[in-house]
Structure 1
Amino acid sequence: MLLTDGNHSTRATFTLLGFSEYPDLQIPLFLVFLTIYTVTVVGNLGMIMIIRVSPQLHSPMYFFLSHLSFVDFCYSTTVTPKLLENLVVEDRTISFVGCILQFFLACILAVSETFMLAVMAYDRFVAVCNPLLYKAVMSQKLCASLVAGPYTWGIVSSLILTYFLLTLSFCGSNIINNFVCEHSVIVSVSCSDPYISQMLCFAIAIFNEVSSLVIILTTYIFIFVTVIKMPSAGGRQKAFSTCASHLTAITIFHGTVLFLYCVPNSKNSWLIVKVGSLFYTVVIPMLNPLIYSLRNKDVKESVRKLINHSIQLFPSHLQREHDPFSTLASGF
């Protein structure tokens, strides 16, 4: 099962316990998570498609939102299929390479989402505080750079953490008491000293969380001050409505992250950690497109126009197919 070459594990197999301690709930949980994953895929890919085909959504705000939807789709797809598989099969093992790859991809996407939300906060800051200069400031070049930043830092962070995970050795029972290969559970089954890897993970996590929150809080302080100074109630309401969806997404995302940081390190906390991780990796990617579609007038209007356009095209197409007079007339 395990071969070691010095301090390096050349082959290892892990067992993801997931929610196996609740055998009677395996099928119900499978159906629930399958439904969530379906909504996630349809919601995020649908959001990307709507933004691409709707001219009124071709603005920096929706450009960033399309990338947030892409990150959410990829994040859920990295984690959920393996979770669903382990709920219906007895063999819950995952190879060392598969586990490390899942962590590598999930880390990239988690870090990317953290800073994508911060980028979207800056976009709202420019839109509310400098509306006349919005198009000039948020140029295509700047938008591309702001999107490239979170992806680049996500890859760098993941490469650093993954490299130090690969230096660890694994021996004995490699049972992971979770449904996903997170950094903390991987190092918990290592038989070598994980101190450096743990400290690096802690430092990077703290840097990501603090820096992104500082950006978000700073931008929203300026937004709040600007909105309060607006003379008209209608202007204030419009400004708050443009930020409402983003604030909701930020609150859910960072609230869950901070909650996981506060969970005590004890045996009884494993279930809390698993539920928190489940919300973080599976539920939030489903919620984001729902938040932005249900609370955003532009998105709802674009969806309505697309549906009406499809309805108008469909009957006229059927009428041309089944109207014998139009067929006869086309022959003259």
Structure 2
Amino acid sequence: MTNHRNRTIITEVFFLGFESLTEYKVPLFILLFFTYTFTCAENFLIILLICRSSNLHSPMYFLIGNLLFIEIIYITNLAPYLMYNIVSGRWIIDFTGCLIQINVTIGITVVEIFLLTLMSYDRYLAVCHPLRYSALIHIRLCLYFVIVFWITSLFIISTIFYFLITLVFCGPIAMEHFVCEFTTFLTFACIMSDITTLNIYSLVLSALLNAPFFIILVSYILIIISVLKIRTSVGRWKAFSTCASHLTVVTIYFGIPFFASMVPGGKTYYNLMAAIYYGVPPLINPIIYSLRNKEIHKALQTAMSDLRKYFINKMHS
């Protein structure tokens, strides 16, 4: 860092979140490495099964595949930096890397929330309008939505990136966390180029992210009402099981930050909740979607059978 007229050119960002855990860096690295490897592997596996099996070429599985792909990007944006910091013992990240981490996190979060919203609408149609389902939603329509989601996300992060590079810092950036966070990053800026624009942009972004939550909530209220109208318990269970996996994912996704905000705690508590929020959804989402899913089980069995036949043919050729 070099000082010039009370302004500071920032080249590195320091993390203080895991300073007290430096003596546990070996088990931390092992835990993070295997968690990251397993998370990427299981997400890739489900994506490959969806791409490979014609039985899984439906709007629901198309959206699940996109969600799991996003989870891979999400955890890859954070885990390698953490593993490097654990090995090196230097809890730092270069300034450009911090900006990239912030923008990728925001961009992926935007697309993820939009995807969860579209998936809720898909489940609403499957439960409440099963006879018109194929006419109301299909893979091509979902593809158009996903493209719009990514374009919207790129526009948002481009605006945020431009704003962040105009910030002026008057001292070092030392976060009480283990990854770069947008709101914390802003607190270290002593001069903001256009605070009015930031306030307007924050309101627009907040509305943009709160609207999907409202749509998800309304979708599941309508689903519950529709399920309760079914007379038989078998019919109710069959209808509910159609959306149970997605409801679980949505509950975890929004439940963790809600719980963290409702229960006060110190730095260690906040970092623990952040680690759970960053690491748990990418790890358990593919398990939730495949645990009781007969179609995915069948696709996996078919893939294993084909792989076994391939190796047998190779051995005898």
| TM-score after normalising by structure 2 | 0.90
In structure 1, give the amino acid aligned to 2:164: L
In structure 1, give the amino acid aligned to 2:144: S
2:13 aligns to what SS in structure 1? strand
Where does residue 305 of structure 2 map in the other structure? 308
Query: What is the CA deviation profile of residues 196-218 of structure 1, one whole-angstrom value per residue up to 9, with x for unaligned ones?
Result: 58746753564244212211111
The yes-or-no answer on 1:140 pairing with 2:139 is: yes
In structure 2, give the amino acid aligned to 1:19: F
In structure 2, give the amino acid aligned to 1:16: F
- Asked if the contact 2:62–2:139 (Cα under 8 Å) also holds between the matched residues in 1, the reply is no
The yes-or-no answer on 1:188 pairing with 2:187 is: yes
Where does residue 298 of structure 1 map in the other structure? 295
Structure 1 gap ranges (5+): 322-332
Where does residue 326 of structure 1 map in the other structure? none
Query: What is the CA deviation profile of residues 39-59 of structure 1, one whole-angstrom value per residue up to 9, with x for unaligned ones?
Result: 111011111111000111000
How many Å separate the matches in 1 of 2:28 and 2:177?
15
2:167 aligns to what SS in structure 1? coil
- Asked if the contact 2:35–2:283 (Cα under 8 Å) also holds between the matched residues in 1, the reply is yes
In structure 1, give the amino acid aligned to 2:278: T
Query: What is the CA deviation profile of residues 244-272 of structure 1, one whole-angstrom value per residue up to 9, with x for unaligned ones?
Result: 110110011001232344465xxx63222
Range moving further from structure 2, 155-164 or 215-224: 155-164
- Asked if the contact 2:14–2:91 (Cα under 8 Å) also holds between the matched residues in 1, the reply is yes
The yes-or-no answer on 1:223 pairing with 2:214 is: no
Query: What is the CA deviation profile of residues 142-182 of structure 1, one whole-angstrom value per residue up to 9, with x for unaligned ones?
Result: 21222223323322332333332222212322212211111
Higher alpha-carbon Rg? 1
How many Å separate the matches in 2 of 1:229 and 1:160?
47
Structure 2 gap ranges (5+): none
The yes-or-no answer on 1:30 pairing with 2:29 is: yes
How many Å separate the matches in 2 of 1:11 and 1:20?
21
CA RMSD of aligned residues (A): 2.5
- Asked if the contact 2:10–2:172 (Cα under 8 Å) also holds between the matched residues in 1, the reply is no
Evaluate the alpha carbon distance shift between residue 88 and residue 201 of structure 1 in structure 2; reply closer, same or farther with a 3 A threshold: farther
How many Å separate the matches in 2 of 1:3 and 1:112?
39
2:14 aligns to what SS in structure 1? strand
Query: What is the CA deviation profile of residues 40-88 of structure 1, one whole-angstrom value per residue up to 9, with x for unaligned ones?
Result: 1101111111100011100000000000011100010011100111111
- Asked if the contact 1:47–1:289 (Cα under 8 Å) also holds between the matched residues in 2, the reply is yes
Aligned pairs, number: 316
Range moving further from structure 2, 104-113 or 135-144: 135-144
1:94 aligns to what SS in structure 2? strand
Evaluate the alpha carbon distance shift between residue 201 and residue 176 of structure 1 in structure 2; reply closer, same or farther with a 3 A threshold: farther
Where does residue 20 of structure 1 map in the other structure? 19
